[in-house]
Structure 1
Amino acid sequence: MTSPVRVSGVSRIPRLLRSVLRAVAIVFLVPFLLFEEWGWEPLAALVGRLSRLPFWARLEERLRRLPPWGALLAFFVPVVLLLPVKVLALFLFSHGHAASGVTVLVLAKLAGTAVVARIFQLVEGPLMRIPWFARWYPRWKAWKDRVLNLVRQSRPWRVVRVFNRGIYRGWRRLREG
């Protein structure tokens, strides 16, 4: 049996392609991850305030008692419900209403993140009883945290943070003064 002939550099192509795809994925995912990280807790807390309403409190209690696969379904319901809204945004874009399309997308993203974050808080326990979810969620979280830490350590991020702090201090002095 003869060994296959390797052409110099050919074996490196898959590794290079994988590196390029990973870099592109990170570039496109970072804004999404930053938004999710920024909005997850505050938006979930905002939706959580609705639990003061009797109907909403009963709904949340039912969500807490769902079995694992019901919890997974509940977790994905908002995603499915927002698809028509995103199609509406695409329709608006295609008819020259870019500002309206962006507005619809931003509002859908805010609402979707708020509801999904709250549902996740309510059903995280049952979700963790699904073996594949329990195996992959910590990996996803660790990867996301690594990417966000790299972003936060970057020079552009630090420059923007310093700039934002300066604006905030100036605004506070203006209001106090």
Structure 2
Amino acid sequence: MTDPRFKKRLLRALGFPFVLLAALLIWLEDWLWQPLGELMRRIGQLPLIRNIEALIRRAPPWLALACFAIPLVSLLPFKLAGLWLLGKGHLFSGMSVFLSAKVVGTALGARIFALTRPALMQLAWFARLWAGLIRLREYVYARVKAHPAWRLARRIKTGIRDWLRQLRD
């Protein structure tokens, strides 16, 4: 029988790469959310888009949910295709397809969420889910930032930045 301490250490060691991947995806989305939301807001100033956004803004909660979910779900096949290409060894095309779908999805998600958030938060289950996602994001970040590899990377980054400043001065 396997030693329970070994099993716990193994799960902890194997779990970190997945937490790191989740943190990278969350960071990418957080990093893109604001600038892409602003870009989509500017596009929303076009007359036709402005009229569509006005309709979305007035949508009742369940219709707002559909307006938010349908564009994001429609990009899922592209993300899966990117992962499939990666699995087949097509690194560049797989990453290109996946990241393109991620960027487009984040842009649409940021804008549509900004338009529908008041209606979506009227759905109690959605408000709980949103709060849970925020807590999950904070947990993942805290876990990654507490890992020795993260702390080492931060020290290296700070050292390089300080060294470059010294060279400049």
Q: Which amino acid aligns with 1:158?
A: R
Change in 2 beyond 3 A, CA 1:27/1:51: same
Displacement of 1:89: 3.3
Q: Normalised by the size of structure 1, how large is the TM-score?
A: 0.70
Q: Which amino acid aligns with 2:140?
A: V
Of residues 29, 38, 42, the one that matches 2:35 is: 42
List aligned pairs for 1:3-14, cutoff 5 A: none
1:29-52: per-residue Cα shift (whole Å, max 9, x none)? 111111111111111111111012
Of residues 95, 99, 108, the one that matches 2:92 is: 99
Of residues 15, 23, 29, the one that matches 1:23 is: 15
1:72-125: per-residue Cα shift (whole Å, max 9, x none)? 111111222213433543565577643222212111111111111111111111
Of residues 151, 156, 161, the one that matches 1:155 is: 151
Distance 2:139 2:87 in 1: 37
Of residues 120, 123, 129, the one that matches 1:136 is: 129
Structure 1 spans left out of the alignment, 5+ residues: 1-8
Q: Which amino acid aligns with 1:61?
A: A
Change in 2 beyond 3 A, CA 1:57/1:161: farther
Q: Normalised by the size of structure 2, how large is the TM-score?
A: 0.73
Moved more, 50-59 or 24-33: 24-33
Distance 2:15 2:89 in 1: 32
Displacement of 1:157: 5.0
| Paired residues of 1:151 and 1:157 also in contact (CA < 8 A) | no
Identical columns (%): 34
Distance 2:24 2:58 in 1: 34
Of residues 126, 137, 140, the one that matches 2:119 is: 126
Structure 2 spans left out of the alignment, 5+ residues: none
Distance 1:118 1:160 in 2: 36
Change in 2 beyond 3 A, CA 1:102/1:163: farther
> Could you say which structure has the larger radius of gyration?
1
Q: Which amino acid aligns with 1:40?
A: W
